[in-house]
Amino acid sequence: MTSGLAFRRFAFTFGIAFAVLYVIALARDLALFTVYPSLGVVLFGTHHSKDVADPAIGFVAPAMYWYGWTATAATGALVLGFLAMLLPDRSTWRFGLAWVCVTPVLAMIACIYLTLPWFRL
Amino acid sequence: MTIALLMVHGLVAVALLGAITHQTLAAWAPVRARPGSFLGRFRTVPSASFANAIVVLYLVSALLGAILYLYFRVDVRPALERDGHWPSLGLFDLKEHFISIGLGLLPAYWVLWRRPCADESRRMRAVLTAVIAFVVWWSFLIGHFMNNVRGFGQ
């Protein structure tokens, strides 16, 4: 039962933290790694074409950040989830239940806001 | 190879779409629906038993999508950029963002369906299921849309 409650705290914390951290990673461009699919190369951290050669290189070797943003959010959420598991069982997590429903919706709205530039081109 | 992956991805997505839609409708349908009615028959299905399948299908579908995304970025997206399909690319980016957020929700979703506590409201479980259902429907429709955006025969 104790492990069940601990996993429950992990699951709710992970869900809330993942949504928040994903939006932060997207807004601040914090990809844990950058993927260059045409080259078959993965670089640690966020890399833009202008950092290494020339902006035109982006057409030759496009970079992908989605995997890195997801990994950033997952890593941070894992750490926070494990920390939540260490809390005492008597801690109430009713608030977590509500936030695990509200936070992803807010995160999706934030993602829409951050994606708006695509629709103005 | 890419086409085969895309077909499998589509089939897994269809299975996921069916399962999550069934579970969402069952979670939101009135508890005292008339036994012989469509909703009444829907509710007789034990929705909790769908949870494991939905988590597995979501993970498999996301993994296949993540693999296909590599091909999309190299072979498809440059052509869409050249043709100025910017809003379509924006919708696709939203699909990727929503899928990631849905991935983060899977542990909480699984706990709420498979190990519910007495003090947890069914409404919250229904809300979380609806959020995941929205992500799945959005991803399915936008994925299908992107597949066809350049038009038949182009």
Tens digits of per-residue pLDDT, A3-52? 678 888 899 999 999 999 999 999 999 999 999 998 889 999 998 866 55
Average pLDDT over residues A81-90: 85
> Cβ separation of B101 and A100 shorter than 8 Å?
no
Within 10 angstroms of residue A2's Cβ, the number of other Cβ atoms is 7
Locate the DSSP E strands across chain B. Answer: none
Mutate to test the interface with A, among B55, B85, B100 (most CBs of A within 10 A): B100
**Tokens standing for residue B94:** 């939203």
Which residue shows structure tokens 């989605």? A66
Residue B25 has pLDDT above 90, yes or no: no
The size of the A-B interface in CB pairs under 8 A is: 104
Task: Read off the tokens for A97.
Answer: 């239940």
Instruction: Give me the phi and psi of A35, to 5 degrees please.
Output: -105, 130
Residues in chain A: 121
Q: Give the end-to-end CA distance of chain A in Å, rounded to a whole number.
A: 54
Interval B113-150: pLDDT, tens: 887 666 566 788 889 999 999 999 999 999 988 888 87
What is residue A64's three-state secondary structure?
Answer: strand
The answer, for B137 touching chain A at a CB cutoff of 8 Å, is no
**ipTM score:** 0.89
Query: Could you read off the pLDDT of B57-96 as tens digits, one per residue?
Result: 999 999 999 999 999 999 888 888 888 889 999 999 999 9
Instruction: Give how far B85 is from chain A: nearest CA, Å.
Output: 9
Distance from CA of A21 to the nearest CA of B (A): 10
Report the predicted TM-score, pTM, of the whole model to 2 decimal places: 0.90
Element housing A44 (H / E): strand A41-44
